[in-house]
Homo-oligomer: A and B are copies of this chain.
């Protein structure tokens, strides 16, 4: 291969790092790929770090030690988060989203790759330092959000089902009580799905009473795993007291309003 110029190396490095967020690359592997010295690659990385900073596109983390290297963490500036949550509130407040029973139509939002990518970046920025081993969610609506967060954190996704499936193999089933409707529901997870002693991040689209999150914490215990983070896109203002204590919600929907034609939704953070 011809000798590769700095701007070419930088372009390829940015592409590779941001294509595999969370993945650790050694400087040696880059040096070999380019036929360049490690110190040259190290300078390239410095330039990229400054650029990502300047344009608020994420951060490069340096991991020291023998198994060390560099990895890209998708993050978002406070201004970026404010913009995104603000425009989400505007969009979700549209009257035509009101459904029978006081529900909000938001499937177009929570399945939209661009929106979900941005929300995933916010969760990643918040949770990447917690040494997450798996992102876990319950089918169905939270799956895209949980998946993109898992992708950005470079960890496997685990999906809990409501019914037993032949494709799961032997499984652990638990019953849990929905925090809002008080209905008894079932969670099913394959015995092969989680390594023991893992650290889990639970991601979901919506939290009302917190029963699902509590169920996940119980389920995790059966696998000797720990839920070290909970992130939801939207929580309801009522009940104020959820069944779980520590969670990050991005938006709060005021569900205790008199006039049902007004949708009152606000950022929970910032």
In the bound complex, do residue A12 and residue B193 qualify as a contact, i.e. CB atoms below 8 Å apart?
no
Q: How many copies are assembled?
A: 2
- Residues of A within 8 Å of B, CB-based: how many? 57
Interchain CB contact under 8 A, B57 and A15: yes
Instruction: List the B side residues contacting A18 at CB < 8 Å.
Output: 15, 18-19
Bound-state Cα–Cα, A16 to B15, Å? 10
Q: Which listed segment binds B: A61-69, A125-133, A141-149, A216-224?
A: A141-149
**Does A117 sit within 8 A of B, measured CB to CB?**
yes
C-alpha gap A20/B190 in the complex (Å): 34
CA distance A7 to B8 in the complex (A): 8
Report which of B15, B104, B139, B193 forms a contact with A139, defined as CB distance below 8 A: B139
Interface residues of A in 169-213 (CB under 8 A from B): 169, 190, 192-193
B-contacting residues, A208-264, CB 8 Å: none
Complex CA distance for A151 and B47, rounded to whole angstroms: 29
23 contacts between A and B (CB under 8 A): A6-B7, A11-B14, A11-B47, A15-B18, A19-B57, A19-B117, A103-B169, A104-B167, A105-B190, A106-B167, A108-B193, A111-B147, A111-B157, A113-B147, A113-B151, A113-B155, A140-B161, A141-B159, A143-B144, A143-B147, A144-B147, A147-B148, A148-B151
